[in-house]
Amino acid sequence: MSASRRVTYSGGFGIFCTMAKLTELSMAAARHLLERYGRDVIALEPLAAGSVNSNFRITTSSGEVLFARIYEEADELGARAELLLLDELSQAGVPTVRAIRTGGGDAFCMHENKPFSVYPWVEGHIRCQATVSEADALRVGAALARVHSTDVRRIPAGRFGLGDLRRRLERIERDAPEYRSDVRFIRERLAHYERLREPSLPAGLIHGDLFRDNVLFGSDGIVALLDFESACHGPFVYDLMVTVEAWCYSDGFQDRLVRAMISAYDRERPLTAREKASLPTEAAIAALRFATTRITDYAMRAPPGTPPARDFRRFLARLDALEAGAVRFP
């Protein structure tokens, strides 16, 4: 197996999910929208990318290749907050990709009452889980610490707090009764870890979703951190545990990757004693978050008789491993 899957990828958002596009974008509509950016569209390709938004590859008459996104859930305020955040992070030296501005200087425009943004298309590759190395874990851990150390003026509101998760669980229970036993289990464990959670951990800007498909590698290391749509204010160690669970778990947690990622993070942004003591609790909350969102974003959207593209049980398995003490945190 090669060390990674080679792709060309644009500036910012999840790729290689099997979700279909959710909003149509005709060639005529694309041409009309891209006129605002001073571009003439000659080719349009929908991308099976992202669990929430509609994404497209666009080629212009000059040969320029672009990535376009239609925000399916975020409103104008949410889209603007993310795009302004990308500007600040880029200016601070965080490797990411900024939205292209319209001729009027706007970061996005509207299509069918939904925000529409355009990015440069960036070449690079994403890692397969089977080939994630300790060097990768070191790079990702250090990069995440640099995000957490960046001083930004505006931090978007979050969509995945404990209250948000409880509301999702209520929706699952109401609309997908086949998952009621899972909802009961997740709700009980969430309440348990909420009681254990340290209320005053160091917090600030977190990425919230730094999975493998949101880190783009080039020949010299990380080219870009992608998809800041979930970025919000939160505990730094929670975000670290999200990233550990995304990068360091295959059939089980891989201790060498866990140690590498946390040690690199700690060198870049030293963890406090309280943060280190909170790693198991924050890891459990991260697993419960993604177990919940995998149901709402994948299982509930899958056509009847079709297995979801991403199985929420994978995160319940992570929780089982955590509760069994299978992970050795520093």
Q: What is the pLDDT of residues 255-296, one digit of tens each?
A: 999 999 999 999 999 999 999 999 999 999 999 999 999 999
User: What CATH class is the domain 129-323?
Assistant: alpha beta
High-pLDDT (> 90) share of the chain, % = 78
Mean pLDDT within 15-35: 76
Where do the CATH 3.90.1200.10 domains begin and end in the chain? 129-323
Q: Which two tokens stand for residue 277?
A: 């003591």
| pTM of the model as a whole | 0.88
Cβ atoms 60, 39 nearer than 8 A: yes
Return phi, psi of residue 184, to 5°: -60, -45
Other Cβ atoms less than 10 A from the Cβ of 99: the count is 22
**Amino acid at site 100:** I
User: Does position 174 have pLDDT exceeding 90, yes or no?
Assistant: yes
Where do the CATH 3.30.200.20 domains begin and end in the chain? 5-126
Q: Sorting pLDDT into bands at 50, 70 and 90, what band is 306?
A: confident
Q: Which two tokens stand for residue 8?
A: 């060309």
Q: Which two tokens stand for residue 9?
A: 């990828």
User: Does position 310 have pLDDT exceeding 60, yes or no?
Assistant: yes
- Residue 18 is predicted with a pLDDT of 35
- Residue 46 is predicted with a pLDDT of 93
Could you give the dihedral angle defined by the CA atoms of residues 231, 102, 125 and 229, in that order, rounded to the nearest 10 degrees? 10
Q: Sorting pLDDT into bands at 50, 70 and 90, what band is 50?
A: low
User: Does position 2 have pLDDT exceeding 60, yes or no?
Assistant: no
Tell me the three state secondary structure of residue 143. Answer: helix
Q: How many CA atoms lie within 13 A of 311 on its CB side?
A: 7
Other Cβ atoms less than 10 A from the Cβ of 172: the count is 23
Q: Sorting pLDDT into bands at 50, 70 and 90, what band is 49?
A: low
Cβ atoms 183, 171 nearer than 8 A: no
- Residue 3 is predicted with a pLDDT of 37
Q: What is the mean pLDDT of the chain?
A: 91
CATH number of 5-126: 3.30.200.20
Cβ atoms 36, 102 nearer than 8 A: yes
Cβ within 8 Å of residue 169, ≥6 positions away: 183, 186, 187, 190, 292
Tell me the three state secondary structure of residue 70. Answer: strand
Q: Which run of H or of E encompasses 315?
A: helix 313-323
User: Does position 19 have pLDDT exceeding 70, yes or no?
Assistant: no
User: Does position 116 have pLDDT exceeding 70, yes or no?
Assistant: yes
Cβ atoms 312, 283 nearer than 8 A: no
